[in-house]
Structure 1
Amino acid sequence: MSVLDTVKHAEQTPDVELPWKALGLKEDEYQRVREILGRRPTGAELAMYSVMWSEHCSYKSSKVHLKQFGAKAPKTDALLVGIGENAGVVDVGEGYAVTFKVESHNHPSYVEPYQGAATGVGGIVRDIIAMGARPVAVVDPLRMGAADHPDTKRVLPGVVAGIGGYGNCLGLPNIGGELVFDACYQGNPLVNAGAIGVMRHEDIHLAKASGAGNKVILYGARTGGDGIGGASILASETFDATKPSKRPAVQVGDPFQEKLLIECTLEAFAEKLVVGIQDLGAAGLSCATSELASNGSGGMRVELDDVPLRDSTLSPEEILMSESQERMCAVVEPAKVERFLAICEKWDVIATVVGEVTDGDRLEIFWHGEKIVDVDPRTVAHEGPTYQRPYARPAWQDALQADDAGALARPATGDELRAQALRVLSSPNVASKAWVTDQYDRFVQGNTVLAQPEDAGMIRVNEETGLGVAIATDGNGRYTKLDPYTGAQLALAEAYRNVAATGAKPLAISDCLNFGSPEDPDVMWQFVEAVRGLADGCLQLGTPVTGGNVSLYNQTGEAAIHPTPVVAVLGVIDDVARRTPMAFADEGHLLYLLGETREEFGGSVWSQVVHDHLGGLPPAVDLERERLLGEILISASRDGMVDAAHDLSDGGLLAAVTESCLRGGHGARLVVPDGLSAFAFLLSESAGRALVAVPRSEELRFTDMCGARGLPATRVGVVDGQELEVQGEFAISLAELSEAHHSAIPNLLS
């Protein structure tokens, strides 16, 4: 690409060849750019269109289906800002608003685990800042390859170190997330990152450039050569060993610079200095300028020479495509520019006026006095290609579902059941994730009231009243491969249930939809069904989608990952002092199983660990039952009827009771209910269930409430002793349970 390309030269040289293919554009997309401009693009314009029209930035394969989230959105007064902004915002009461979002940094984290994961955290935190909020916590849903694969030992420690290093340096507690191992993620791990921020209603800011004459200020780190086309292009195609290394495309993060950026931005907000703001993430300056101009009421003129650089040899195209971290773009009235720059200087943040809002409708960018970009910003930011990708139910789907896990050999004796129980508890997907979470600071800032391994993380918002919010992320690729519609709803249901189990009322969701190549009709069908399931489920539960992320091309060659929609549910609790933890804290408390247990083993941990099997149907989902269960858990928490609660999901009742026992240091004696086998009682993964510990003094009040509302509540045991005993079947000491549960992942990674 030549820096001599200008708009005038482009008009006069229509036949000059440009590297549109190398920048990721399809031939028809390049022709459309020419039609929009009425000429060939300049090199700088081509750079902008290529990154902004990438799959990662434009959602060109998914946006026709994502419209369901708006069309089916439940009516709620809680939603203050919905889809389309940097992050969604919900009202949590007392004049407070909370913004939250989940995004992916999958491909960069495989190429360069530490920096890929670290900059994923940095990017999602800047989205939260851009809404006007102070970040208060992060979460990290992770999916890795087989736990015993050598490359997992390369990727996982690097990813965890990157997340912990960046988040810890920012002083943000990591309060939730997941770690799932499966061979399908071997060449394409999923590193999703989420963040939560808190603000007052009046402090909400949006990404728009309005007011002719207002100045455009780029502030934060200098622009460098790292991350050129990084997330935007790297995440828009599959991995292929025949292509050149993508390592230079991974961004490099500096959390200390980001901390200064946070404080600088919040002080500018507090003094009402900012008209509009946009963080620089994927597509860098191309995104910030085109989106700000597109969302505003005028145009924009930018002097690219004024952009502070770390590398003076960068071409204008590279400056526009760079995804260097810790940068933001603000629109400021001329009279307030001096004060804005003074605040930046106070925080040792580089800030430069690089342009201004114009009264036209064009985005014009200049370099060395020559105009190198002259475009309608809407065509760059919002009017990219829209694809109706072909999709069809896979030919193999019926056979997969017909391969029922119910036909697998089950344990015949109590000893066999005990042995399989220990195998499940020591399997990587059920075992303690303390090796990961101990590397994160979960309690910095002093407002964390619940964190891993609790069902949901919880943060205090108001120290005087105890107002708080909870968040949980969940997803199950095995379920979703068996049935994408049901699998997406199960992810929603589990996150909803996890939040309710702590006593918080679910309000809204963000999602991160991780799938293979949209050019594969099988994968596209999985995506369409999952989106439909999630939209229908959110409508039924009354939890609107506030925003999120689509991550496609998650595959290596022809091998796609399991379809993995990850759902983050945010909830609110009036007083965090009334939260419900998962630990069995006192002996003598009665254990009640809420919901119904059925013979459901499709996609279960047991089928995977004991039989290396994936087939059949996932557990049935009943969202009205989930809503009822949530209401019971929230009411019981508020009224002091339960001392502990834990949702049932992966690993069934066995995993839940073990985690609650080990968390509290007390054992449990369980009795298998009539009509159930001990095997199904312990290992079924039926949805819509929770285990609660009820003080004897509250038993009658609790069971009356469940009976009046029609929720099955079965007394299945008591908190007692120092072992987990299933009467008539087996007993395992807490010491043996702890060894099995806590040593599995360290042993695999040592």
Structure 2
Amino acid sequence: MTTTEHLIDTVEHATATPDNAQPYRELGLKDDEYQRIRDILGRRPTDAELAMYSVMWSEHCSYKSSKIHLAYFGRTTTDEMRAKMLAGIGENAGVVDIGDGWAVTFKVESHNHPSYVEPYQGAATGVGGIVRDIMAMGARPIAVVDPLRFGPADAPDTRRVLHGVVAGVGGYGNCLGLPNIGGELVFDASYAGNPLLNAGCIGALRVEDLHLAHASGTGNKVILFGARTGLDGIGGVSVLASDTFSGDEGGSGRKKLPSVQVGDPFTEKVLIECCLELYREGIVVGIQDLGGAGLSCATSELASAGDGGMHVWLDRVPLRAKGMTPAEVLSSESQERMMAVVKPSDVDAFMRVCKKWDVIATEIGEVTDGDRLVITWHDQVVVDVPPRTVAHEGPVYHRPIERPADQDALQANGPESLPRPTTAEDLRALLLRMISSPNLASKRWVTEQYDRYVRGNTVLAQPSDSGMVRVDEQTNRGVALATDCNGRFCKLDPYQGAQLALAEAYRNVASTGATPLAVTDCLNFGSPEDPAVMWQFEQAIKGLADGCAQLGIPVTGGNVSFYNQTGSTAILPTPVVGVLGVIDDVTRRIPTGFGTEPGETLLLLGDTRDEFGGSEWAHVEHGHLGGRPPQVDLERERLLAEVLVAGSRDGMLSAAHDLSDGGLAQAIVESCLIGETGARIILPEGVDPFVQLFSESAGRVVVAVPRSEELRFTEMCTARELPWVRIGVVDKESTELEFQGVATYSLDELRTAWEGTLPALFD
């Protein structure tokens, strides 16, 4: 249909032409879904209605394959855990009370497929979208993070995608003036042709300033404000994230190639300040950002979450393209747009604030006393639907679930038979190869493209175990955030792998002195139409939910990203877990680098076992994946966190670094190079030095303790039955790292190996 008055597909026209063919399959709807829409409406949908249902019933927006599994989070969340949340699953972002009248909102979301099609804009708009989710809760965004995953580091297409993604993340975040305080950078062949761009944001607000997305109050006005609506992003993330890539493993083909949204960070920066002033003026009843599915999402979600209906005059929407149809206006995912519900008496004040910030604002609708979402185009009704059927009552699939046929064989093929280094010379060479491998090498080449300290409240940033920002400049109260996931562990055992991701993020937060408080997630998997993928998904959710219940910290929300595969090759199951922690005084945070105190003693907390299934050693040295992942003991993780937080609070620790990928050797090298100090490491006698150096057993942290505090700290560990062993001493005067009986390295030699890999690959 064109936009001329006589050819608009109105509700009246749809009723009179029930047999008109419609391209519902091309829009991603299945036969039974299209029939259900007809049953709901009692007629065929108009073009505009079909567009709304197609984007809102997409996998990305409706969670139709994951809803029944996500409900497990609710069943495992206790009242005590719920009490920590001011807003949880189902809202734009989770919100938790951090004390002193402050609340923090945080979330991680995916923008995976757009970041492969157009890396710069895909990544940039991924950052912009998650920032608006935070804004919609009434908060000021204060920091971002970016968990990233790419194909093999030496693959030509990885260079294309990584350069664009990193530039997009940095370009948008830097222009917004938001510090990038953490994330991940992982390379694996399974992500070739299907990289993962997971973007996270933290926002701070006073408890009483919390805003939610609902359209309440008959007669209240609906105002669209921000950028104009264009053709960019039509069928964008909502469709892109609901289908798989086709073609070979390199991703040379595409089944669909819709537009990727185009971002303007300077417009968003002004929009942030405009929103914050609107909140301060108290003139917003409800608010919703426009991200995936655009106006289709914002109008239907606001209406369905309110206490009435809504009437929208779609032709009032400010456009930046000529000849757009109602369906295109509703489906556009143009960025930097928000929608607010405002009392009639506050509209003038609302418009004055928007004019002050030079933000376009247009009254496009009002809340009605009915139960319908009615949208008109030049006085003709083009949408007349029950809003809940669009936003919240889409299809719910009980997808087939089947444990992979090769799972037993995969777990039986452990790394025990792989050749191990047996001499000191072998171990010396292995350490250098390990620390210079792409997954373990310094990420400085990436993070130096981000502004990590803008706004002046960054306390810790990568390469620290977790990022940390000050929230209150008067009291120094702050929060820490870490994101983690080892996809190889999840491939071997998705239940345990999800718990290991939770444990590592929890441990990383505690290693900086913050108390873990709440969780967000970004669940990245292959096609839900594959029963083996759904088994991985179900197991990962159960593992994460059970783990959070055991630790007593709630999942406040998150994101599901399916169809992450190229042809029949799915990515490693990658349930990224973000843990937020709170610290009452950021001046007592624990740094990662050794050497802040002279003559520090190094202690290893936790148990080391011969655990190499899914390890970085097996991956780097042998290209092997098989066996069982490391054991996870969440009670030990809780105890370890309590000891670390107590050590921070009481001034007993001068540095801490968790042990994960690469084991003890990696942690020691990083802490020495970050602190620019030498050290002498004494490995316990009678134990295989290879296991001591490279095992990836969970629940371990290496800490630096001032001499004056060693006895007090070790007595606390002993009293709490936390295993510890003295493994060495920091030598600030030395320029060498010595593993006694194994090898000695100059710091220059280690730094060249650790920092040289990514520049050599990507400069």
Which bracket does the TM-score occupy, shorter chain normalised? over 0.9
Which residue identity lines up with residue 62 of structure 1 in the other structure? S
CA-CA distance at 1:368 after TM superposition:
1.7
Which residue identity lines up with residue 503 of structure 1 in the other structure? G
Secondary structure at the counterpart of residue 151 of structure 1 = helix
Cα pair 1:209 1:295 within 8 Å, conserved? yes
**Partner residue of 1:7 out of 5, 8, 11:** 11
Give the corresponding residue for 1:301: 311
Secondary structure at the counterpart of residue 159 of structure 2 = helix
* Cα shift readout 1:295-348 (whole Å, capped 9, x = no counterpart): 000000000100000002111100000000000000001111011011111111
Give the corresponding residue for 1:97: 103
**Partner residue of 1:733 out of 724, 730, 746:** 746
1:179 matched to 2:185: yes
Separation in 2, partners of 1:145, 1:2: 43
Separation in 1, partners of 2:255, 2:229: 22
CA-CA distance at 1:244 after TM superposition:
6.0
Give the corresponding residue for 1:519: 529
Secondary structure at the counterpart of residue 46 of structure 1 = helix
Give the corresponding residue for 2:48: 44
Bigger mean CA offset, 253-262 vs 672-681: 672-681
Give the corresponding residue for 1:274: 284
Which residue identity lines up with residue 752 of structure 2 in the other structure? E
* Cα shift readout 1:177-203 (whole Å, capped 9, x = no counterpart): 000000110110000000000000100
Give the corresponding residue for 2:756: 743
CA-CA distance at 1:676 after TM superposition:
2.1
Which residue identity lines up with residue 36 of structure 1 in the other structure? I
Cα pair 1:111 1:246 within 8 Å, conserved? no
Separation in 1, partners of 2:709, 2:291: 52
Give the corresponding residue for 1:165: 171
Cα pair 2:525 2:537 within 8 Å, conserved? yes
Which residue identity lines up with residue 434 of structure 2 in the other structure? V
Separation in 2, partners of 1:565, 1:235: 16
* Cα shift readout 1:210-262 (whole Å, capped 9, x = no counterpart): 01111000000000000001010010000124976755420000000001110
1:695 matched to 2:697: no
Separation in 2, partners of 1:147, 1:100: 30
**Partner residue of 1:145 out of 145, 151, 162:** 151
Which residue identity lines up with residue 270 of structure 2 in the other structure? L
Separation in 2, partners of 1:161, 1:316: 34
Give the corresponding residue for 1:394: 404
Give the corresponding residue for 2:227: 221
* Cα shift readout 1:335-376 (whole Å, capped 9, x = no counterpart): 110110111111111000000000000000001211000000
Give the corresponding residue for 2:76: 72
Cα pair 1:603 1:617 within 8 Å, conserved? yes
Give the corresponding residue for 2:653: 642
Bigger mean CA offset, 717-726 vs 103-112: 717-726
Cα pair 2:235 2:258 within 8 Å, conserved? no
Separation in 1, partners of 2:670, 2:406: 37
Give the corresponding residue for 2:215: 209
Cα pair 2:520 2:579 within 8 Å, conserved? yes
Cα pair 2:246 2:255 within 8 Å, conserved? no
CA-CA distance at 1:588 after TM superposition:
1.4
**Partner residue of 1:19 out of 18, 23, 27:** 23
Aligned length, in residue pairs? 750
Give the corresponding residue for 1:452: 462
Secondary structure at the counterpart of residue 479 of structure 2 = strand
**Partner residue of 1:61 out of 57, 60, 65:** 65
* Cα shift readout 1:2-41 (whole Å, capped 9, x = no counterpart): 5521111111111111110011101111011011111110
Cα pair 1:512 1:566 within 8 Å, conserved? yes
Give the corresponding residue for 2:140: 134
Separation in 1, partners of 2:72, 2:762: 42
**Partner residue of 2:577 out of 567, 574, 599:** 567
Separation in 2, partners of 1:318, 1:53: 17
Give the corresponding residue for 1:671: 682
**Partner residue of 2:391 out of 381, 396, 404:** 381
Separation in 2, partners of 1:267, 1:52: 31
CA-CA distance at 1:137 after TM superposition:
0.3
CA-CA distance at 1:675 after TM superposition:
4.1
Aligned CA-pair RMSD:
1.0
Separation in 1, partners of 2:381, 2:322: 20
Secondary structure at the counterpart of residue 307 of structure 2 = coil
Secondary structure at the counterpart of residue 64 of structure 2 = coil
**Partner residue of 2:337 out of 324, 327, 330:** 327
Give the corresponding residue for 1:32: 36
Which residue identity lines up with residue 537 of structure 1 in the other structure? G
Percent identity at matched positions?
A: 70
**Partner residue of 2:512 out of 490, 502, 505:** 502
1:443 matched to 2:453: yes
Give the corresponding residue for 2:382: 372
Separation in 2, partners of 1:337, 1:501: 48
Separation in 2, partners of 1:364, 1:2: 20
Cα pair 2:519 2:577 within 8 Å, conserved? yes
Secondary structure at the counterpart of residue 193 of structure 2 = coil
Separation in 1, partners of 2:502, 2:23: 43
Bigger mean CA offset, 513-522 vs 577-586: 577-586
* Cα shift readout 1:486-537 (whole Å, capped 9, x = no counterpart): 0000000000000000000000000000000000011110000000000000
Separation in 2, partners of 1:6, 1:513: 39
Give the corresponding residue for 1:608: 619
In the alignment, structure 2 segments of 5+ residues that lack a partner are none
Matches within 5 A, 1:464-613: 464-585=474-595, 586-613=597-624
**Partner residue of 1:118 out of 124, 131, 142:** 124
Cα pair 1:587 1:666 within 8 Å, conserved? no
Give the corresponding residue for 2:473: 463
